[in-house]
Amino acid sequence: MPLYTVLTKRNLSASKKKSISDGIVKVHSKVTGAPPVFGTVLFMSGYRLKKNQEAMILGSIRIGGNRSQQIIDELKNKLIHVVIHFGQFNTAQVGLDFIGIKASWVYEGGMVLPDPGDEDTWLANNPNHH
């Protein structure tokens, strides 16, 4: 967790996908404090989007814990910037929506994920997830 899906009208090159994926995971980790090991980015091209959009980011992120509205807003702004920059889109062409997921709803490797902010303790108790 998190799972980000980047939907685009046109296919992106492998290098753009790599740069966007790395950027999304880096931003998510830096802004939320979640370890990068939790980040997953899925790309879907040829997707029907709103009239003026060329790309849409759908983020399934854990809510609660230390996730304030300020953190969510900062995350939104920085993630959109990553896709604009590395995908070479203009600002009006990129959208973003979050789906808030309770950590207790998610199993990763057979383990329930920790609440936001409790990742270090969880990783220390689950060494196979490093």
Residue 49 backbone zone (phi > 0: left; psi -120 to 50: alpha; other: beta): beta
pLDDT at 130: 58
- Write out the residue range of the structural domain in which residue 53 sits: 3-129
pLDDT tens by residue, 63-95: 888 889 999 999 999 999 999 999 999 999 999
Q: Which two tokens stand for residue 3?
A: 């799972």
Number of folded domains that form the chain: 1
- Tell which wins on pLDDT, 127 or 98: 98
Highest mean pLDDT among 38-52, 76-90, 112-126: 76-90
Torsion of CA 8, 84, 27, 47, to 10 degrees: -10
pLDDT at 64: 86
* Sheet strands (E) in 1-130: 3-8, 40-45, 55-63, 94-102, 107-108, 111-112
In terms of C-beta density within 10 A (0-12 exposed, 13-18 middle, 19 or more buried), how is residue 110 classed?
exposed
pLDDT tens by residue, 11-44: 999 999 999 999 999 999 999 988 888 789 999 9
Residue 98 has pLDDT above 90, yes or no: yes
> What is the arithmetic mean of pLDDT over 107-114?
83
> What is the arithmetic mean of pLDDT over 104-109?
85
Q: Looking at residue 79, which CATH number applies to its domain?
A: 3.30.429.10
CA distance 75 to 97: 11
pLDDT band at 129 (very low <50, low <70, confident <90, very high): low
